[in-house]
């Protein structure tokens, strides 16, 4: 009688062998590990992926892309928000993300007036997460000004904006909805969008109530220059000197850093959310990963604008960007961990769990495809390297979140209905 296959479980201590499991093919091993958290998402932007790849200006940049994003955002309703997010969250689950931090700033009607229910857009995201089965850390965004100089929000930004009192009321209403797979935190859109006084008032209002705090920061050179000109310091430098940044904080992008800022983030205990595919798509720049690893910094990954929805691609391009700059190989390693794939996965998992504020997410599992050619003959020593660098065929076979099977045979349980609803929403969004 042939031996039954071994099930391997990845733990913080490495791979552990579980009892043999029944299988049609007794020669095939099973590989089970935690799903990764996605630390930065703007769900509605999934619907515009691929629609901003025609040159609109001789010097196309993040800032010209942003104009298209504003126009697109102006057409999204609670119903289309739900359909887009449901499609996106199903794609995340199928790729191996099991938790998402939703950095949500699309609050009001296009003219800036609140919906009859001021939380309508937030509740569309909550419903999409509930119906797909992904864990959600919802981060309503405080967005008050159009620049460091305090200029008012533009017409297209009005649906993002809140007074501080209005924002705190929204936050209170959303926190009342929390449950086992829904955590509510808070986000500051950026230093340019939140005046210093308002930042301090918000942080004072939530003091003593531990919750995730996320902020876009130092994504673009123009932002760094404006902050230096008007606040006398670089964005990360200023934030570390003027806010109680600690392990509850996540700095999104933090692309343009000097050595003291790298050291300062690491010393604060904050997590950096790195979004390699979006940062590449928008021409942002490269995060100084090697220096941050050497400083002992915490980090995770996000898919941000969702030009790609794949933890593997985010991890792979995080490493590849460093290789292109240094013209060396295997950058994300350490003296104790020579495996690039294993270090990327383990650190993205650990940093991600810190940033999403959902410890139970560590109990959500993915199972890799036991018949995938990319895993033929895999061993514990090379499995995670194969997972990250072994090609573009999806390797996630099953996904289990909070005791529920949400993906089987590599397909979300509601795949067809979700795709149909998404197609209908796209017709509405793109109609003349």
Q: Which residues are catalytic?
A: 253, 304
> Which DSSP string do the residues of 234-303 spell out, in sequence order?
-HHHHHHHHS---TTEEEEE--S--HHHHHHHHHHTPEEEE-HHHHHHTT-----HHHHHHTT-EEEE--
Helix (H, G, I), strand (E, B) or coil at 282: coil
Distance CA 94, CA 54 (A): 29
Helices and strands in the chain, H and E counts = 14, 16
Token representation of residue 253: 């992008």
Q: How many CA atoms lie within 13 A of 100 on its CB side?
A: 31
Indicate the burial class of 388 (C-beta count within 10 angstroms; 0-12, 13-18, 19 or more).
buried
Q: How many CA atoms lie within 13 A of 27 on its CB side?
A: 4
Instruction: Answer whether 94's CB lies under 8 Å from 398's CB.
Output: no
């Amino acid at each position: 009688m042939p031996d039954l296959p071994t099930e391997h479980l990845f733990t913080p201590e490495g791979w552990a062998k579980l009892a043999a499991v029944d299988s049609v093919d007794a020669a095939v091993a099973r590989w089970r590990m935690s799903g990764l958290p996605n630390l930065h998402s703007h769900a509605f932007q999934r619907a515009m992926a691929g629609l901003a790849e025609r040159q609109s200006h001789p010097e196309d940049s993040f800032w010209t892309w942003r104009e298209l994003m504003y126009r697109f955002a102006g057409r999204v309703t609670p119903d289309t928000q739900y359909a887009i997010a449901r499609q996106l969250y199903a794609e995340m689950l199928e790729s191996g993300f099991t938790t998402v931090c939703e950095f949500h700033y699309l609050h009001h009607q296009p003219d800036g007036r609140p919906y009859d229910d001021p939380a309508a857009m937030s509740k569309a995201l909550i419903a999409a997460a509930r119906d797909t089965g992904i864990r959600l850390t919802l981060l309503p965004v405080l967005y008050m000004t159009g620049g460091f100089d305090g200029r008012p929000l533009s017409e297209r930004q009005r649906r993002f904006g809140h007074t501080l009192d209005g924002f705190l009321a929204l936050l209170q209403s959303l926190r009342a909805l929390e449950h086992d797979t829904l955590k509510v935190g808070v986000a500051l859109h950026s230093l340019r969008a939140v005046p210093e006084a308002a930042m301090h008032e918000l942080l004072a209002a939530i003091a003593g109530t531990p919750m995730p705090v996320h902020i876009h920061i130092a994504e673009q050179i123009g932002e760094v220059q404006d902050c230096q000109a008007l606040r006398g310091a670089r964005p990360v430098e200023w934030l570390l000197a003027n806010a109680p940044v600690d392990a509850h904080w996540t700095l999104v992008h933090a692309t343009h850093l000097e050595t003291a800022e790298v050291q300062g983030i690491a010393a604060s205990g904050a997590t950096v959310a790195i979004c390699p595919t979006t940062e590449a798509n928008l021409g942002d720049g490269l995060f100084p990963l090697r220096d941050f690893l050497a400083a002992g910094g915490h980090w995770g990954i996000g898919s941000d604008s969702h030009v790609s929805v794949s933890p593997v691609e985010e991890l792979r391009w995080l490493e590849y960007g460093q290789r292109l700059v240094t013209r060396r190989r295997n950058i994300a390693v350490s003296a104790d961990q020579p495996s690039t794939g294993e270090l990327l996965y383990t650190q993205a998992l650990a940093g991600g769990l810190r940033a999403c504020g959902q410890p139970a997410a560590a109990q959500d599992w993915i199972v890799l495809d036991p018949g995938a050619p990319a895993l033929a003959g895999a061993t514990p020593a090379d499995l995670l390297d194969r997972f990250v660098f072994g090609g573009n065929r999806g390797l996630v076979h099953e996904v289990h979140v909070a005791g529920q099977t949400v993906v089987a045979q590599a397909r979300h349980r509601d795949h067809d209905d979700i795709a149909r609803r998404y197609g209908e929403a796209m017709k509405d969004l793109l109609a003349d």
